[in-house]
Chain A
Amino acid sequence: MTLELVGVDAGYGRTQVLRDVNLASEPEGVVAVLGHNGAGKTTLVRTAVGLLRPTRGQVLWDGEDITSLAPHKRVARGLAYVPQGQQSFGQLTTTENLQLVADRARPRARRAALVDAAMERFPALTAVATRKAGLLSGGQRQQLAIARALITEPKLLVLDEPTEGIQPSVVAEIEAAVTDLASSGTAVLLVEQHVGFALAAAARYAVLASGRVVSTGAGGREAHAGVREALTI
C-alpha cells in the first residue's frame, strides 16, 4: 500500500501552506519528511490523513482517489496516524484508550489480544494500565499514542515528530519501535525536525520548506550533507 500526494495545495482559510506538494510513501520501509518548524510538515500529514481537505490536488491510496474520504474510513483501510504532541484521551484510562481502538476489530474475540499485544510492545504502559491518560508522563503518553495506532494494524503508520519533547530514555524505545515496525513490513511516514534518526531509518527523504518539497533523495547517513544544505535554504 502506498499513500501519494499529487500536486497538493492546502492551508487554513485564506492562508495557503502547502504548494504543489508531490510525495509518496514506500510500500514498506520509512520515508522521512524533514523541515524546520513551520515548514508545513504537520499540515502535510493532516492533509494525508484527511483532517484537512486539499484546495487542489489529490490524495491517493494504492492509486485510488481518497481525497474526500473521511479520516476514520482511511483508518479502516490501513492508514494510522500519531499526531504531534503526545495526544491521548486524557479522561480515559490507558487501557480504555487502547480498547477504544480495539473495539473496531473483528471478530470480537481478537480485541483483548490486540490490547495485550500493544501493552507488550510498550511494557511501560502495563504499570499505568488503570491510570487516566491525562496523568501519564509525556513519554508514556506518546507510547500510548503509538500503541493506539498499532492496534488498527496499519499498513502505513504516519508519525508526526514522535520524539519531540520526550525524555531521552523513552526516545530510544520509540526509535527502536519504529525501526522494528519498518523491518517487519509496516510502511512508515516519519515527520522529523531532527535529521539524525530519521535519515538513518529512512529509505527515502523529502525536505519541506515554506510548504514546498525542496529536496528529495535516498536515505541513509550519507544523505546528511545534502539534507543539511536543503535545510539551510
Chain B
Amino acid sequence: MDVIGSQLVAGVSIGSVLLLVAIGLSLTFGQMGVINMAHGEFIMAGAYTAYVVQQILGDAGLSLLVALPVAFAVGGALGALLEQLLVRHMYHRPLDTLLATFGVSLVLQQLARDIFGAPAVDVRTPSWLQGNVEVLGTVVPWTRLFILGVVVVAVGGLALLLTTTALGRRIRAVVLNRQLAETSGISTRATDRLTFVIGSGLAGVAGVVLTLVGSTGPTLGTGYIVDAFLVVVAGGIGQIRGAVLAAFGLGLLQAFVELSTTASIAKFLILVIVVAFLQVRPQGLFTVRTRSLA
C-alpha cells in the first residue's frame, strides 16, 4: 500500500512536469500542426529568464513569481520572431519546418552557451518551497506540489481562454477550417501568430518551473522535447484534455514501471508502449468527431 501510494505520488509528479512541457506544444503542434524543434529551447530560455530575474531581484521567492510572467513574454517574443521569420513560410511543409527549427534550436543553445557559459547556472529555490510535505504516506517536496499548482493554473487558463473568449473562438475556428475562418472575417494570419506566441510563452513558463527540479544549462530543453511531443501525439492532436490524460497516464506508467527496473529502461519501455498504442489508435486518445467534414 505504501509502495502504491508513493508511486502514485511520483507518477502525478512526473506527469505534471510532462504536462507542463507539453502544454505549449499542444497549441503550436497540436492545434497548428507546426513541428517546432526549438520548443525545448524556448523552455530553456524560460529557465534562464528565471536565473536572470533572480540575479536582478536577489530574493528567490519574489523572483520566482516575477519570472513566471516575464518568461511568458520572453518565450512569446521568441515565438513571434520564429513564426514571422521562418514558420509562416513553411506551414504545410512539416519536414522543412522540422529541419529549420532544429537549426534554430542549435543556434539558441549556442547563444545560451555564449551568454551564460556551458556549465549549468544556479537558480536558488525560495525558502517557502524548501522542505517536504506528506501526501498519501509519502514525503513530497513542496517544489513538486508547486509544479502541480502551476500546471493546473496554466492548463485551466488555456482551457478558459480557448472556450470562453473571442480569441479562443478564433483560434479554434482557424484550426477547424482556415478558409471558412478567413471568409468569415477572421485574419488567419494574425490568429496564427497569436496562437504561436501563446504556445511559445507557455514554454517559457515551463522553463521557470523546471529550474526548481533540475539544473539550468544550455541543453535543458533537449531533455524534454521528445517527451513533450510524445504527450501531444499520445493524447490526440488538437486535444488539450488528451494531453492532460496522456501526461498523467505516462507519468503514472513511468512511476510504476520504474519500480521493477531503472529510470532509463522505464523511459524506453514507455516509448515502446506509446508506439504500440499508436499502432492500434493512430489518432491518439481522443479524436475530433463531427457529422460532416466541416
Contacts and interface: CB of A to CB of B under 8 A. Distances in A.
Interface centre among A76, A87, A133 (most CB of B within 10 A): A87
A72 B294 contact: no
A218 interface: no
B180 interface: yes
A103 B183 contact: no
Contact of A70 (B166, B187, B293, B294): B187
A12 interface: no
Contacts of A49: 183
A104 B183 CA distance: 13
Contact of A141 (B170, B182, B292): B292
B179 interface: yes
A135 interface: yes
A90 B291 contact: yes
A86 interface: yes
A101 B182 CA distance: 11
Nearest to B186: A72
Nearest to A134: B290
Contacts of B173: 89, 92, 100
B78 to A, nearest CB: 27
Contact of B180 (A50, A87, A96, A99): A87
Contacts of A99: 166, 169
Contacts of A81: 183
Contacts of B188: 72
Contacts of B179: 51, 71, 83
Of residues B166, B184, B293, which shows the largest number of chain A Cβ atoms within 10 Å of its Cβ?
B184
B166 A76 contact: no
Given A71-B183, A89-B176, A91-B288, A133 B169 contact: no
Nearest to B165: A103
Interface residues of B, number: 25
B193 to A, nearest CB: 14
Interface string A46-67: 0001110000000000000000
B182 A87 contact: no
B177 interface: yes
B183 A86 contact: no
Given A133-B294, A134-B290, A92 B183 contact: no
B131 interface: no
B172 interface: yes
B185 A89 contact: no
Contacts of B288: 90-91
B141 to A, nearest CB: 40
A101 B176 CA distance: 15
Contacts of A72: 182-188
A52 to B, nearest CB: 10
A152 interface: yes
B185 A92 contact: no
Nearest to A100: B169
B292 A96 contact: no
A155 to B, nearest CB: 14
A75 interface: yes
Q: Nearest 5 CB-CB pairs, A to B?
A: A134-B290, A90-B290, A75-B185, A103-B166, A71-B182
15 contacts: A71-B179, A75-B184, A75-B185, A76-B185, A83-B183, A89-B176, A89-B180, A90-B176, A90-B288, A91-B172, A91-B176, A92-B169, A100-B184, A100-B186, A134-B289
Given A86-B294, A92-B176, A100-B184, 13 more contacts: A70-B182, A85-B294, A86-B292, A88-B294, A90-B291, A90-B293, A92-B169, A99-B169, A100-B169, A103-B166, A104-B185, A104-B186, A152-B185
